[in-house]
Structure 1
């Protein structure tokens, strides 16, 4: 939001189970060419599990100035302070039988994640007839104090700039939209690793590096409407990236090094705008992801030659809305080379990143909402059925674990809700989160996470006026389930890889908009 579209006051408070409390307030306004928006929030929670309490404070603001109807600039600032204790992973049996316990080693070492960050940015927009140009600069500075099995203490400084131009005009009687841009990103990571002497006490230095990165991305895309409502879309992106590490702790050898990546990613597709609320699309595109420094690119010989992950993706889909129906449906297939997979090789270590030679990610993402009953108790009331379904068929397609399912990702997941809406603003109804089929926690497909279904219910009032509120119950049957898993090569049943999901919980909130 900016001061030209924000409320003079927007405040809310939420609270609920396990000591959860959140407060947020924002304000904005405009005076002539100047406008402002300021938002502050705080959240605290004791946590469902032992040793999982935390709190976070956030503040963000933006200030804009319009030089003319065709030129404006905006400054952004955000600051965050996050303190979080970590309960750690449990065995499958512990997750299902004693889900509120913490991993004993995490408690002994008082493992935490604490982050302070500040981000500053500016964006200026200039319009010339059919052409709009955006350009700007930014910086993001953060300090991470992170006692885990070792005590990690590091500072990260990212900064850069960008320029983007969009030209939307008629060429020879045909609409054409051309987009071109450049992103520059620089980063420096001042990294230190110490022993954790217990109770989050910093011990002797074990590892120290100065890491520098550069990423240059240039891109262009053109959408040519050869029919009034059908466009041929084609584009490309060129990426040049550099990673450089200077080892400052030579007691275990010099692990300095550098690596550059040069990747070209083209795309082509069709977009059919059937009407202003209905689209049909299809495309083929390439994408790339380069290893980050926390992938230990130079820290161990086995990881010194990590390749960039690339993928070719085929996608087709449609999205749209009508008065009493909306939908979003897409089917895709991504063929990946050198997928970056993080695998835990020891219970007392960070996961180790490696390249998997070939994998396939394919599936369906579907969502819809429909009002199938009307005027049940009052004129213009509705009974809405909303559903969101994902099908994830991810598997190994190369020499490594050929044919096995990729771990950590549920194959089927459905969230559906039946919601009654009254014209006064009252609404109420149940919902179900359903993971229909087991997924694996290891590449060998030897240890599975069980399926589950959660029953929820919410009711509230929102008539678009000053006051709104809600009451929500989650996992009302107190189902014990596993929400996520750390990935292993081959996992015995006794390995601590799992994070239990929250038990029965109730939350409520009020909002005032002025």
Structure 2
């Protein structure tokens, strides 16, 4: 299946590459005034508003919780690779880059225990889960250049996507012929560390049928030794209208990703010689190479003007070649099917609407673990088949009981199984299953047409992944409980005159929280349940303002701030210490100057008060990194961009693995340095009009 799909995508890529009219940046610097009478504009600065984007904005506004929509214009001028780039001004998102797309990603502390790759947050692209069926995932198959907009569903706002975790979900919606503002587009990027990226798309709307094809090729030597990458991706999205009330959309993504891993180093090396790699990472040729195909289809049926049914499915074939201290070969098949029903009625003068849905996932991972002999496979030490099966059902009911005041109630139920077959010893075939119902209730009040207040109370639930259950590659499951908790959230969003804002406070009480202790800096950290309860408390805030300094000059200051205070509650070992890995204060500040077709925006990123260990004996050094972004719209076709980072070329640490007690640790090669001074530039061309 993978070879067939690769050939299919390869043919499409050849078609695009050999036609000079094809290329990628769909929205060539659509500059619009994001302040207006519509509260939805606080979430997006986009003048080419599509039906999908409009629906996302309406969904965000209707939630009794903090949901953010980020359009591609938000990050079109950056060299965007990780979520730190695409969600730079989205509060509450902590994304600490490691290499390439890889980072520590956490929302409200969910995923904090994952010292590598991803857990606790569900990622979806065009409805296709990036996480495996057991919840584990990574970032390498996400290409921001294929993205129309991103929806950040924090906490229980993600029930509709099937996620029950504390952090919620991040939905990436791909570009299609209806959402791009140019039929053909091209972007060529280059800059520091041998960086080159070419992206391209072509789109056509034939009436009932619309087609888009896109490719991206990227290479980079990397700031650090042994961090080069060479990646090719292709994307297609096809829509067909069977009638005025029935439409199907289908497509897929091909990934051929080759990335070297520089590994973690000591704090001194991270600060003073950040370009150096871990010697063992070089000697054993650490890498993470992926070949994958993700296919999807979605059909929407407007049964009546008030009732809509959406159903579809997805298939993923994925090959992973991953030499680290051991050599991992994974071959994954993952299937997803879903159905969603949305309706609305008037009940005795009270407008009500609802969403009912279900999702089924079935995944197989054929995993072989060998010894790593200098980057080559040695003797096989593990051979297992991991089968995860998950069923999720959810429902939400909303009623506007009086003008501007809405009550929201929801319930989601998950049942999931973990079955492992030990192919080296068939007598060892452990099984585990988890299930729970999680409710939520919230209120939403429109103080004015442009200002909302919201509050909600919700439950969260997260079962362990296979990696948690088979720690150290053992074919027997370790005793782990699912993490569950209750979260209270209150906040406001809106616009007042020249200001836009979103501010939320949350408090989560967790039981059995997953925490990670790194015992060997080069091996995955074992996962444990916290002995007692833990508390996650935080603030997510962003403010954007726009002022006309002169007739031609607009000044736009912007601030995004995240506060996190995550603590143990009378733990027998760690008392009331703070949890490791979570910066207490972090954010980004920008001051943009817009003059006709020119824009320049100095910025800074900061992070403070981050403990490395749960004993709270060692903190990461605080940092503030300065940068500047600029763009110039030459004409309706061509736009130039500049993205300069770490202008002072300072050494700093983006993140570290979490450990129990740094004062007694014998190996502290656990730190990831940030990149030095870097400058990226791009030329983006879009033409051919709207499809």
Aligned position for 2:343: 167
Distance 2:331 2:575 in 1: 40
Distance 2:479 2:240 in 1: 48
Distance 1:176 1:131 in 2: 12
- Which structure's residues are more often strand, by fraction? 1
Structure 1, 200-209 or 335-344: larger mean CA deviation: 335-344
Whether the aligned pair in 2 keeps the contact of 1:3 and 1:35 (CA below 8 Å) is yes
Pair 1:302–1:257, CA change in 2 (3 A) = closer
Distance 1:22 1:277 in 2: 40
Whether the aligned pair in 1 keeps the contact of 2:342 and 2:353 (CA below 8 Å) is yes
Distance 1:137 1:163 in 2: 9
User: Which residue of 444, 450, 454 corresponds with 2:621?
Assistant: 450
User: Which residue of 371, 375, 395 corresponds with 1:195?
Assistant: 371
Distance 1:343 1:254 in 2: 30
Residue deviations 1:32-73 (CA, integer Å, cap 9, x gap): 211111111111110000000012211111111101111111
Aligned position for 1:155: 331
Distance 1:372 1:129 in 2: 42
User: Which residue of 526, 544, 560 corresponds with 1:352?
Assistant: 526
Tell me whether 1:386 sits opposite 2:561 in the alignment: no
| Aligned-residue offset at 1:322 | 5.0
Whether the aligned pair in 1 keeps the contact of 2:226 and 2:260 (CA below 8 Å) is yes
Distance 1:278 1:159 in 2: 41
TM-score by length of 1: 0.95
TM-score by length of 2: 0.71
Pair 1:89–1:152, CA change in 2 (3 A) = same
Distance 1:401 1:329 in 2: 31
Aligned position for 1:225: 400
Secondary structure of 1:52 counterpart:
coil
| Aligned-residue offset at 1:269 | 0.4
| Aligned-residue offset at 1:171 | 1.9
Whether the aligned pair in 2 keeps the contact of 1:91 and 1:493 (CA below 8 Å) is no
Structure having the higher Rg: 1
Aligned position for 2:655: 484
What pairs up with 1:87-486 in 2 under 5 angstroms? Answer: 87-127=262-302, 128-198=304-374, 200-250=375-425, 255-275=428-448, 277-297=450-470, 300=474, 304-321=478-495, 324-357=498-531, 358-372=533-547, 374-375=549-550, 379-397=551-569, 398-422=571-595, 424-435=596-607, 437-462=608-633, 465-486=636-657
| Aligned-residue offset at 1:479 | 1.2
Whether the aligned pair in 2 keeps the contact of 1:164 and 1:179 (CA below 8 Å) is yes
Pair 1:490–1:58, CA change in 2 (3 A) = same
Considering Cα pairs closer than 8 Å and 6+ residues apart, tell me whether 1 or 2 has the greater RCO: 2
- Which structure's residues are more often helix, by fraction? 2
Distance 1:465 1:281 in 2: 41
| Aligned-residue offset at 1:463 | 8.1
Whether the aligned pair in 1 keeps the contact of 2:469 and 2:480 (CA below 8 Å) is no
- Structure 1, unmatched stretches of 5+, are none
Pair 1:83–1:301, CA change in 2 (3 A) = closer
Residue deviations 1:168-220 (CA, integer Å, cap 9, x gap): 2322222111110000000001001000011x110000011111111000000
Report the RMSD for the aligned CA atoms in angstroms: 1.8
Whether the aligned pair in 2 keeps the contact of 1:415 and 1:432 (CA below 8 Å) is yes
Distance 1:404 1:339 in 2: 14
What is the count of residue pairs matched by the alignment? Answer: 506
Distance 2:299 2:627 in 1: 45
| Aligned-residue offset at 1:338 | 1.0
Secondary structure of 1:68 counterpart:
coil
| Aligned-residue offset at 1:289 | 1.1
Structure 1, 350-359 or 384-393: larger mean CA deviation: 350-359
Whether the aligned pair in 2 keeps the contact of 1:209 and 1:248 (CA below 8 Å) is yes
| Aligned-residue offset at 1:275 | 4.9
- Structure 2, unmatched stretches of 5+, are 1-174
Distance 2:446 2:354 in 1: 17
